[in-house]
Amino acid sequence: MLRGERMLDRVARVLRNVTTDLLLISNADDAATWIPGVPAVPDVRAERGSVVGLHTALSSAQERVLVIAWDMPFVTTALLQLLINRGEDEAFATLPEGDHGPEPFCALYTRACLPFLDRAIDAGELRMSSALGRLPSLTRVSRAELASVGDPSRLFFNVNSPRDLELAETMSSTGRASPPA
């Protein structure tokens, strides 16, 4: 919960501004109840890792998939629209550059990635960076481009701990653009 709203609902609300076709990838038994009206799909492969989740999303999609991690509470419609626009002509993936490199969990992918993800999973390469390194091409959205829609430190801030949640609450209530130093 962040300011009285589940982070999952915050992300879904922003996604609904750019698409009506939402899909939740989760192996949790109750995932189908998390967002009413949004289908939940378990991983299609037995291996565990974020690459498997991306593989499942692409296996379930018609063409392109906008992947957003549910623990990124500050993604915006403008950010997602920028990714969609920049990815129009990309055959594989469109990834924004965050503070620590590419942000694979806030990115646009096409089904053309599937054979490369299959090979990565088959080889036991379950880290996103390894799998993405197999793609023939990808479009990177620079921090300078991202600055036109917000502070990348805020846009890609994710909540992985109680301390991160405290920081997110502070950022949300004070309107700070980024986490305090």
**Cα–Cα distances in angstroms (integers) from residue 57 to residues 28, 41, 94, 155, in the given order:** 15, 8, 15, 22
Q: Does pLDDT of 180 surpass 80?
A: no
Q: Residue 49 has what pLDDT?
A: 86
Q: Does pLDDT of 181 surpass 70?
A: no
Q: Does pLDDT of 152 surpass 90?
A: yes
Q: Residue 174 has what pLDDT?
A: 76
Class (C level, CATH) for 7-164: alpha beta
Q: Does pLDDT of 163 surpass 90?
A: yes
Domain coordinates of the chain in residue numbers?
A: 7-164
Q: Residue 63 has what pLDDT?
A: 87
Q: pLDDT > 70: what percent of the chain?
A: 96
84-100 pLDDT, tens digit each:
999 999 999 999 999 88
Nearest-angstrom CA–CA distance, 152 and 178: 8
Mean pLDDT of the chain: 92
Burial degree of 51 (CB within 10 A; 0-12, 13-18, 19+)? buried
Q: Residue 81 has what pLDDT?
A: 97
